[in-house]
Structure 1
Amino acid sequence: MIKSIIIAFASLIIISCTSIKKEHSKEFVNAQKEMTEKLAEISKTTCFNGFGVALVNDKEILYQNGFGITNFETKQKYDESTVQNIASVSKTFIGIAILKAQELGKLNLDDPINEYLPFKVINPYYPETPITIRHLATHTSSINDTEGYLTNAVVLKDTTNLTNNLKIDISPTKFNPPSAKISIEEFLINILGSNGQWYSEEVFLKKEPGKLFNYSNIGSTLAALVLEKATGTSYDKLTTAYILEPLQMNSSGWSFNTIDFSNYTHTFQNKTTPYPYYSLNTYPDGGMLTTANDMSKYILELMKGYLGKGTLLSKESYNEYFTPQLKAENFIDRSTSEYSDEYNMGITMGFGSTGNFGHTGGDPGLFSVIWFDKDSKIGRYFIVNTECDNKEFGKSQKAIYDLIDEYSIKLNELSKARK
């Protein structure tokens, strides 16, 4: 949902305890064990209570694991089966679903969204310029996240300690009671409909649709609603049928009742204080609940898709997904950091200035990232369940990433060398 601002993240990488040992050399297995031991040691000194990691190359899953804890009371360990919300990394599923719907003949990327919606979405400053599906997928729709979005999207799971939990500061968002849970259609009508409860003029930029990159959570959720109307299937069922089930991501889902809640982690305000459990009214933009085990399958598919060997989409669709769509004139303050995912945009997939690609995410108590190195053909996943101040976060992150960098080279070489 709300994007994390990432100050430097070097390549991140990891290794799989669940790899089939008989297929790999003794050296490969030993490298995995060493990586696990060293990450376990690092986990004792980081500001994160728990974190998950996964690493793939273009052939296989190299590593997946978790470290630390998910719950103070039970001391439950964070491992590769721990379920956590991955925040805005969830948006990458929207792009896959759009292109699958296009393959099925249900829509076209350049269709105006009003051909599908039950209510009109029109930028009042450019009423003659239609907003298209491609605009939503590349964050050029001119739709802007407003206070109405920020203050109504996050909903508590239950009423436990409700009075106190509603007072917790998660600025710029806020917690809402369980009774505030509504469908994405109702939410979007309230935000984007001219008579909507939370509508304001600021929801549209004074820029023509298609002209300016402006990261929009509302726009992403609107893309999911367009998918629902074009296919006649709810977004959660659509993505389950065409992404989760084919990849056997059996521990993943979009709501608490679709996952094993006993494996769900708390997220934490700091090293000592948990947040209450929460979900999102705009679940497509940040509400995927998944594990390091399942995410390793997903990033492996994306790496293969980038190389023209994916199974979820055709080569042509994956080529569209991974093609940078924007130009310099589409940006005002363009992020040129090598590891930023906002130098350019594919179809919901972000690109850095070097051409490497991925997506980041952040919500109360968590940070997440998937990142792919196009030259080494390595994909990485990293997620934490704890908020830290910037200095401590950077220190802990660097310690993990440095180790990941070192072992990614070893594991990739040993994987490629196996018979």
Structure 2
Amino acid sequence: MVDYQTGYSLDSTELLNSLSATERLLIVQDLDGVCMGLVRDPLTRVIARDYIEAAARLAGRFYVLTNGEHIGMRGVNSIVAKSVGDAMQARERGLYLPGLAAGGVQFQDRFASVSHPGISEAELHFLQQVPAMSEAYLRTLLSSEPYHLDTQLITELASSAVLDNRVSPTLNINVLYQHFKTQPNIYRQLQHDISTFMTDLHRQAAEQGLGASFFTHYAPNSGRDVQGHERLKFGAENNAGTTDFQFMLTGAIKEVGLLVLLNNYYFTQTGHYPLGQDFNARQAPHSQAELLKLARAKFDPTLMPRIVGVGDTVSSSVQPDSAEILRGGSDRGFLHLVQALGEAFGIDNKVVYIDSSAGEVRRPGVDAELLQRRKIEPTLAPWPALEGISDPADPLRLDVIFSGGHQQYVEFFCELAERLRNL
């Protein structure tokens, strides 16, 4: 049983005061739902200018770690440029968000210099074909049973659902959930059909000698099966389940990306890469145990920063037929590694959870009123307030919870950057 006497706090003031006095600090943060609201159409995302300026002030102590991408029409860079009002100014002032995208295989500094370490030309060529294949499949699928949508509507839905990301092409079916949410059986059939399409993409890749190059990332998901494949999270009442079907490069998982970012952090501190200058997500181990072993062997503990991991996609669900608990979410792995690194190096790392359920995408939300009662009744268990997110046996502890969503977190982030300006 996990100790619930610590953590699960709604009070961010103590965290702000503590981090403001931390000399060696590294914030590793997801994007969608964390510093901007979750929306059905990625093209409508907005990042506050104050947040962008604050991130620049935290240079060297802040990285993003996202399954989205920096570049392209739906990339975060275009959102930053729009917020700043001038892409050239954003580049010259270093206002772009540094860190890893596409799960860990697209690296960018704050001046928008982008690289894709460890990716072959053959893999890039196959990835470039996936968006067109996805759109053709979706058009055919939605015109047939049981969907039977008209051509104009299919065109509108497909243009929104197919994300032509360079190294993580994605089918985002938020708009389709909105269309079929009153027909849950049809929506679940749609999820199943798209999952089958992703499997077919892997078959085609294997025929071109790329059988080990890719995997399917489901967001949100229900953890992994015994083969290590992510489990599809079927939609339920008031919960869209898996909405992002991402065709990603093997190794592009956030927990691996965390070590890549630490490697870069150490370089900025010492001029030396502990894991080597060319270390990338494609060559790293995948299990938490192996990642911890590598960290202990290579990272100087006297220089290890205090890490704050920030995310919003963590899930826990009980299977009705077996009572088995399935834990997943694209932020779970890296947040758990942040927690484990803190334990391994004796550092007070923090896991910060942002409640993004107030956005346009259906997600389990936090019962803030119940958690608030724990200040008066400390023996009160937090689990009923975290249904669908965590459970009594969950090894991941959520230290601080921002029940006010991304708006509350952005305010906190800006205040922290201001306090750390002269540290």
User: Could you tell me the TM-score, scaled by structure 2's length?
Assistant: 0.25
User: Could you tell me the TM-score, scaled by structure 1's length?
Assistant: 0.25
Identify which of structures 1 and 2 has the higher relative contact order when contacts are C-alpha pairs closer than 8 Å and 6+ apart: 1
